[in-house]
Amino acid sequence: MKLSIIGTGYVGLVTGTCFAEMGHDVTCIDIDAAKVERMKKGECPIYEPGLEPLMQSNYKEGRLHFANNYDSVTKAEAIFLAVGTPSSDDGQADLKYIFGACDSIAPYLQDGSIVVVKSTVPVGTGNKVREHLKGKTNKKFFVVNNPEFLKEGSAVEDFMKPERIIIGSQEHEAAERIEELYEPFNRQVKRTIHMSNISAEMTKYAANCFLATKISFMNEVARLCDIVGADVEEVRHGISTDSRIGSQFLYPGPGYGGSCFPKDVKALVFTAKENGARFKIVEAVEEVNKEQKKYLVSKVKKHFKDDLKGKTFVLWGTAFKANTDDIRETPAIDTAVALHQAGAKVRFHDPEAADNFEKLMGQMGIPVDQFENKYDALNGADGLLVITEWKQYRAPDFEEIKSRLKTPIIFDGRNLYNTKKVLEMGFTYYAIGKAIK
């Protein structure tokens, strides 16, 4: 099947590359000409494990193409909209890129074209896209909602081995054609689920907001554990054995970030208010997350009796999670800002997101020092803060850490380390909800 993908961000590039790997003829379109030229040279504009070699091989074999014009839409059977839907100040998802993409593809649509909304969009957007395009073209087209459920850091694997494929459409013909597109993923188990456009949009928001709820819930449990002396790791293991609860998204930490959860939580709250309702649970999820992003620094301030002026702290990890260079809404931002405002100096290390973080901090006017070696960053520093759960941080040389720091103190925002071990080695150790005995 011939496909056009509008947008080569995280979702668009993964979608286009993986469809090409399945044998489809795919053109990924982006208005950034320089970015398109980079991709033609085999350079992946984002860090996602396994994506770059897949992109290179499919481009070389002629199944994957890159363009900054919309000519390919004329021959495409399905056109995927994979553009950003950022949050406005009030939490509403901004759809200007969606409608801008519609304006761009409208002159190229043919009778029978399927416009697939891959972007995460508010409930009712599919219908708005349909009405918008009707005002732009006389061709007969279909609108399908096909939300993505990709985790940054494992997006290629998630696409190739999906747990479910949601197809939202009011036209049976269009739904059947999109199911045919996904046929290679249904060979062992049928994973496609058909529903209305509106239900597909709600399913995406409900899924992400439920996962965000689990995270905020465990972060509140961890904070209570800190108060009463329980160990959240023991509690987590205790409740995860209940099959109704499960084990995923129960790890306390410095708060969630990234391109999805913060934006989708805000959007669902806005949608509820827009329709005369309140989504009180999700409102609380967002509030807890805001507090959690400040929680690790509160431990730093308490230890140093609110006197951080002139002290130096090191952040290990600035990406919002491991295996990505994405710093959107990362807890490292709140951490660095809070330390700077308290008069401290900030150093940091991250294997993939360092340049992105340094650039953002510069734009915010927050001075930070980037280090290529995680141990060099520690020299003479007053404390180490672990923000991201990169594998290279999970089993470090603690003697090396101790020899480099001015004071042997670790603030472990991901609960990576064995409490007994680090205490026996002479560290002062703080974690999130772990009993320090």
Average pLDDT, the chain: 96
For 22, residues 6+ apart whose C-beta sits below 8 A from its C-beta are: 184, 185
Tokens of 40: 């033609």
Instruction: For 375-395, write each residue's pLDDT tens digit.
Output: 999 999 999 999 999 999 999
pLDDT above 90 coverage of the chain, percent: 95
What is the structure's pLDDT at 412?
A: 98
Residue 326: predicted pLDDT:
95
Q: For residue 428, which phi and psi values (nearest 5 degrees)?
A: -90, 125
pLDDT at residue 186 tops 90:
no
By the 8 A CB rule, do 350 and 388 touch? yes
> Tens of pLDDT along 249-270?
999 999 999 989 999 999 999 9
Q: What is the DSSP string of 303-342?
A: HTTT--TT-EEEEE--SSSTT----TT-HHHHHHHHHHHT
For the stretch 108-118, pLDDT in tens is 999 999 999 99
Long-range contacts of 23-27 (CB under 8 A, 24+ apart): 23/63, 23/184, 24/63, 24/181, 25/1, 25/63, 25/65, 26/2, 26/58, 26/63, 26/64, 26/65, 27/2, 27/3, 27/65, 27/66, 27/67, 27/72, 27/76
102 is catalytic: no
pLDDT at res. 81: 98
At position 143, the amino acid (one-letter code) is V
One of 18, 28, 225, 260 is an active-site residue; which one?
260
The structure tokens listed for 322 are 């491991």
Q: What is the pLDDT of residue 189?
A: 82
